[in-house]
Amino acid sequence: MPASKTTSRPTAILHRIRSKAVRGATPALLLFSILFLLPPLSVAQSIGPAPTEAPAGCPPKARVDDVRDDIHGTIVADPYRWLENQTSPETRAWIDAENQCTKLSLNELPQRPALQKRLTELMKVDSPGIPMERNGRLFFVYQDRTADLGVLYYREGLTGKDHMLVDPQPLTPDHSTSVALESVSHDGKYVFYGLREGGRDEVTVHIKDVDTFQDLKDVLPSANYFSVTPLADNSGLYYARATPQGPRVYLHTYGSDPAKDKEIFGTGYGTDKIIVANLSEDGGYLLISVFYGSDFDHSEIYAQDLRRHTALVPIVKDVVAGFFGDAAGDTLYLYTNWNAPQGRVMVVDLTHPKRDHWHDVIPESDSHLEGVTLTAGKLAALYTQKASSTLKIFDADGSHSREIPLPALGSVFGVAGQWSSDNLFFGFDSFAYPPEVFQTGIAAPAPPTVWMKSSVPIHSEDFVVSQVWFESKDRIRVPMFIFYKKGIRTDGTNPTLMTGYGGFAVSETPSFKDYAVAWAEQGGVFAVPNLRGGAEFGEAWHHAGMLENKQTVFDDFTSAAEYLISHKFTNPDRLAIWGRSNGGLLVGAALTQRPQLFRAVICGYPLLDMLRYQKFLDGPYWTPEYGSADQPDAFKWLYAYSPYHHVETGRKYPAVLFITGDGDTRVAPLHARKMAARLQAATASGLPVLLMYDTQAGHSDEGSVEKQIGEYTNFLSFLDWQLAIPAN
Residue positions annotated with a catalytic role: 581, 699
Closest CA to 229 of 179, 154, 283: 283
Closest CA to 302 of 318, 291, 322, 286: 286
Strands 496-499 and 575-580: parallel
E-strand ranges in 494-580 read 496-499, 525-529, 575-580
Q: Please, which residues bridge with residue 610 across strands?
A: none
Is cis: bond before 59, omega within 30 of 0? Answer: yes
Alpha-carbon distance of 389 to 383, in angstroms, equals 6
Alpha-carbon distance of 231 to 239, in angstroms, equals 11
Cβ–Cβ < 8 Å for 250, 239: yes
Alpha-carbon distance of 36 to 41, in angstroms, equals 16
How far is the CA of 404 from the CAs of 311, 363, 499, 635, in angstroms? 40, 19, 30, 47
> Is 223 exposed, middle or buried (CB count within 10 Å of its CB: 0-12, 13-18, 19+)?
middle
Backbone phi, then psi, for 676, in 5-degree steps? -60, -45
Walk across the sheet containing 496-499 and list its strands: 463-471, 477-485, 525-529, 496-499, 575-580, 600-604, 655-663, 689-698
DSSP assignment, residue 404? P
Q: Which residues contact 44 (CB under 8 A, 6 or more apart)?
A: none
Cβ–Cβ < 8 Å for 654, 600: yes
- Compute how many other C-beta atoms are within 10 angstroms of the C-beta atom of residue 233: 11
Cβ–Cβ < 8 Å for 320, 337: no
Cβ–Cβ < 8 Å for 34, 649: no
